Every structure is written in structure tokens, then in C-alpha cells.
Structure 1
């Protein structure tokens, strides 16, 4: 038996004010998107903003459904919209923020597993990383240089 060690290289900022200006602006857009969330069941609002290589910014918010599998997370809403509206344009940065209507979310909230897989698909497609910044409602912000820091053993088209 052989063991391997998998590690992540993440940056942690004490708050939004420590982020580069362009990321602060993206986070503001993610907060705006978060407030447009349709989340009557979980009461958990998530907003995402993606900066594209052509300078455009695409946003998304989570959209729930009484039939839970039919809903969609904020990250995938934004990613799929960007892929449909701007095919072939690289995604540079993805930022996301979450808040609950039941309690204060002061812990950085990373993308769920399905969203990580979707991000991985687009990193492979564009042959380049997407920087990911995530936070709760307040507090620290985490930066991953690529989805490989959050999903080190990705499943991609090389397995098909």
C-alpha cells in the first residue's frame, strides 16, 4: 500500500476590505445577486458573480423548488449562463457569498460538490484555472487559485 498526501493552497483574508479592489466589486455584485435568491424552503441565500475574460460580469443566485432536485445553486446558475451567453470566453474569477434568514453566517461557505464538479468542467474546457473567492455573510474570505484546491481528484472527460 502506498499513501499520498493531498493539500490545498488557500489564502484567507480577514474581511472583504482586504481583497483587491476588483474582487471587492465582484463581491458586491454577488451580494446583490444573493438578495435576489429564491430560497423559500432553506432560507439560505447564495449569490455568485463571475468575471469573464472579455470584461463582462455574470451573476446568479440559488433558485429552489418544492421538488428539491429541481433547484439550482447560485454558482451553477451563473456558470451555465456564462457558458451559454459567452461560449469560448474564459471565466477568470468566481466569487460567492451566503447568508441565512435563520442565523448569521460568519464562516466562509464553499461551493457544494455539484458546483465544484461544474467549475471543474469549465476549468478543463478552458484549459485554465478559475480563481474562487467565498465567504459567508460577514467575516473571513477564502481564495482558492483553482477548483483543484477544493476538489483535488476531479472527474473529467479523460475518464470517459
Structure 2
């Protein structure tokens, strides 16, 4: 007999007036580093800010390479740095901002597949979801309360 597996996914829209102080700081930090992205090929610049359980904040941006796909996304850059230096400290929240070079309007982006799988790796390692927030052009944050909301059938031990 066949069975059907259903999952429900959702994003929450968080208006600016409901952002926490740390979310305001993280958005500003991500915006600050986005202009330093090395994106000469796509001209699409991404910044990410990561909050660890110990309260430390880290930022990174995307780094392209002429030898595509050797570049590194902002999300993986910030997670790699933080986990390389604080391997036992749980990531709590990541905020992502993006725009095309010379645009004044922010683009809504979600993490790519590689970044989603990387976020999954650290959720599994720490046994806890990482909140993922993405800035949209309306100045709101889209909140996913864990990678399962962006990658419901991720590469993982589905029996675990």
C-alpha cells in the first residue's frame, strides 16, 4: 500500500517595527558588508550576519571566482568562519541581504541549495534549528524558523 508524506512549510513576514534590537543590528551589519562583496561576474552582492549562542556576531559576503563555481556564498562564508573559530558554539540566527550592484532596492533571496545543506549540517550537529531571515524590498524580514522550512526533504538521515 502506498503512503503519502506531506510536510507544511511557511515563512513569517516580520515588519520592521517588530524587529528585535539584535535583528536591527544584524541587518545593518549585513548591509555594511554587502558592498564589499567580490561579485564582478554576476554583479549580485549578498551579505550575511550570523548570531552565535554566546552573543557574538559575524558577517561575510559572497566571493565569486572566474572559475565558476569556485566562489563562496555569504552564508557559507560566515558559517565556515564562525564554526572554524567557535566550533562548539551553536549558531542561533542568520540574516541575509542582497542587491544588484548599483541598485538601491534590496532583492529577496533565500539561501541556495549548497547553503541550505550547510545550514542543515549545523542544525544536525547542534540538534537545534537555525532561524533564517531574509530582507525583502519592502523592508520586512522573511523568517524561516529552521532549514526544514526552506529544504523540507534535505539530504539527511531520514530515519534519524
TM-score (norm 1): 0.90
Find the counterpart in structure 2 of residue 139 from structure 1: 139
The reply on whether 1:74 has 2:71 as its aligned counterpart is no
- Compute the RMSD of aligned alpha carbons: 1.9
Query: Which 10-residue stretch deviates more, 67-76 or 138-147?
Result: 138-147
Contact 1:107 1:138 survives alignment (8 Å): no
Equivalent-residue separation in structure 1 for 2:33 and 2:138 (angstroms)? 16
1:46-77: CA deviations, max 9, x gaps? 00010001111111100000011110000000
Structure 1 residue matching 2:13: 3-state secondary structure: strand
Compared CA separation, residues 136 and 43, structure 1 to 2 (3 A): farther
Structure 2 residue matching 1:70: 3-state secondary structure: coil
Find the counterpart in structure 1 of residue 9 from structure 2: 8
Find the counterpart in structure 2 of residue 20 from structure 1: 20
Find the counterpart in structure 1 of residue 37 from structure 2: 37
Contact 2:136 2:142 survives alignment (8 Å): no
Contact 1:30 1:47 survives alignment (8 Å): yes
How many residues align? The count is 158
